[in-house]
Chain A
Amino acid sequence: NAGVTQTPKFQVLKTGQSMTLQCAQDMNHEYMSWYRQDPGMGLRLIHYSVGAGITDQGEVPNGYNVSRSTTEDFPLRLLSAAPSQTSVYFCASSEGLSPFQPQHFGDGTRLSIL
Chain B
Amino acid sequence: ELKVEQNPLFLSMQEGKNYTIYCNYSTTSDRLYWYRQDPGKSLESLFVLLSNGAVKQEGRLMASLDTKARLSTLHITAAVHDLSATYFCAVDYVTGKLIFGQGTTLQVKP
**What is the number of contacts between chain A and chain B, taking CB atoms within 8 Å?**
61
Q: Provide the residues of chain A in CB contact with B27, threshold 8 Å.
A: none
Evaluate contact between B42 and A105: CB separation under 8 angstroms. Answer: yes
Stretch among B64-72, B76-84, B95-103 lining the A interface: B95-103
Chain A residue at minimum C-beta to C-beta distance from B46: A102
Shortest C-beta distance, A20 to chain B (Å), equals 20
A30-50, CB under 8 A of B: which get 1 and which 0? 010101000011111100101
Evaluate contact between B43 and A101: CB separation under 8 angstroms. Answer: no
Q: Give Cα A105 to B35, complex, Å.
A: 10
B48 close to A (CB within 8 Å): yes
Q: Provide the residues of chain B in CB contact with A35, threshold 8 Å.
A: 100
On chain B, which size bracket covers the interface?
A: 20 to 34
Shortest C-beta distance, A34 to chain B (Å), equals 12
Q: Give Cα A35 to B35, complex, Å.
A: 14
A6-18, CB under 8 A of B: which get 1 and which 0? 0000000000000
Known: A41-B102, A102-B33. A48 touches B96 (CB 8 A): yes
Number of interface residues of A (CB under 8 A): 28
A107 close to B (CB within 8 Å): yes
Evaluate contact between A42 and B102: CB separation under 8 angstroms. Answer: yes
Evaluate contact between B103 and A48: CB separation under 8 angstroms. Answer: no
Q: Provide the residues of chain B in CB contact with A105, threshold 8 Å.
A: 42-44
Q: Give Cα A41 to B43, complex, Å.
A: 15
A103 close to B (CB within 8 Å): yes
Known: A56-B96, A100-B95. A42 touches B45 (CB 8 A): no
Task: List 5 extra interface pairs beyond A43-B100, A105-B43, CB under 8 A.
Answer: A42-B101, A43-B43, A43-B90, A90-B42, A102-B35
Q: List 14 A-B contacts (CB under 8 A).
A: A31-B96, A42-B4, A45-B98, A50-B96, A98-B95, A99-B48, A100-B31, A100-B48, A100-B50, A105-B42, A105-B43, A105-B44, A107-B42, A108-B42
